[in-house]
Structure 1
């Protein structure tokens, strides 16, 4: 059976600006760290794969001295504590409903599930946070049918392909039979590195990124009678009439991978 593998942040829900950013800033305030990221500053931080890695990026020599974290082990412990607190804050934001699911996510998941597709999430975010978003986006019943690969379970985070290679291995799926849904250039590079075709649904922080190599780039998956998907790049002439459907996914799955041919 084919597999549909989703990224989490920016794909399942608009999590970055309305979830992760306020959770990072709340955590910094809770720990007395004199940092508050603006939306523009965070737009640069999202290019760093992994929450702990984003937090670690603030530790300039000057700030590390101010916080008493010049020692590497002390810095590691501090970042771990920050990230654990940030995950709890973030889960609370998810539960509050401030991050609605992206258009079309629940619909396409239901269609793929009913057709017998294998479903998975592959994300660099912490697993509890990913599961919280997944359950909020598709409901508990559908979420239970997903395999979740997240957090620090691979040595290198996106844009390295490790998380997708692990997912393929654990799912027992050949790259030829899997399709990825991503929202960022880093995610696209990770999927391409694993030999996977990728459908990109851009998010607020990623619309201007380079998505060369994607099978299809859209504004969202779209929902009939509601938000329509805008086609931003269609290098293979797949065509779309307002929504990404299971038939669209099947067409994308039949396309050559980036390992088989150059992108047209």
Structure 2
């Protein structure tokens, strides 16, 4: 089972870069520590508008700024290295797959379409829209297991952040961490394994280690 933002799609890095460029266009540097703290807390996409507004003297046309920022962010929203190869391994092995995310379903559908992945290739998709407690609560993972008809011992979760790892581990699922350029700054040692690419270890080998 896969997390989505930061794991399959590198939206966390795309968000940071797009906001960094906005700050630079006004002659300022983004507070990276604030960005990391928001990401670690799992409060959703960091939107540091108030921080920038406090730094500048002019009135900011947020409609124009945000439209340009989103265009830039979307240019950067690509699949992370190894994702297509990893999904191909899962398909070849006949392994059931699922997405377990704190994001809403419209976002996942939109971004999967943008990178050319069919949502139907995943056997289950559990999102914020299901109304379950958000990660780090295990509820979404437990719901995914139920829909897949699988036990925690049979599953592997792939996550990029401490919040997601805690959710998987509380559900009793073995977790592989694949940090991105943002979450590599965090302590991910609670994961069972940390990889620099999702396909760094063949999926068949990971399944054999269960």
> Is 1:150 paired with 2:132?
no
Number of aligned residue pairs: 183
> Is 1:202 paired with 2:179?
yes
Pick from 179, 183, 198 the counterpart of residue 160 of structure 2.
183
Mapping for residues 93-242 of structure 1, pairs under 5 Å: 96-137=74-115, 139-141=116-118, 143-146=119-122, 147-222=124-199
Alignment match, 2:35: 42
Q: Cα 1:93–1:131, aligned 2, differ >3 Å: closer, same or farther?
A: farther
Give the root-mean-square deviation of aligned CA atoms: 2.9
After superposing on structure 2, the runs of 4+ consecutive aligned residues of structure 1 that deviate more than 4 Å are 20-23
* Deviation at residue 93 of structure 1 after TM alignment: 6.2
Structure 2 distance, partners of 1:179, 1:101, is: 20
TM-score (ref. length: structure 2): 0.74
Alignment match, 2:3: 7
Structure 1 distance, partners of 2:107, 2:13, is: 15
Q: Could you say which structure has the higher helix fraction? A: 2
Q: Cα 1:50–1:134, aligned 2, differ >3 Å: closer, same or farther?
A: farther
* Deviation at residue 100 of structure 1 after TM alignment: 2.2
Structure 2 distance, partners of 1:194, 1:166, is: 10
Q: Which runs of 5+ in 2 are unaligned?
A: 23-28, 51-65
Q: Could you say which structure has the higher strand fraction? A: 1
TM-score (ref. length: structure 1): 0.60
Q: Which runs of 5+ in 1 are unaligned?
A: 27-35, 59-85, 223-242, 255-264
Structure 2 distance, partners of 1:174, 1:37, is: 44
Q: Cα 1:140–1:221, aligned 2, differ >3 Å: closer, same or farther?
A: closer
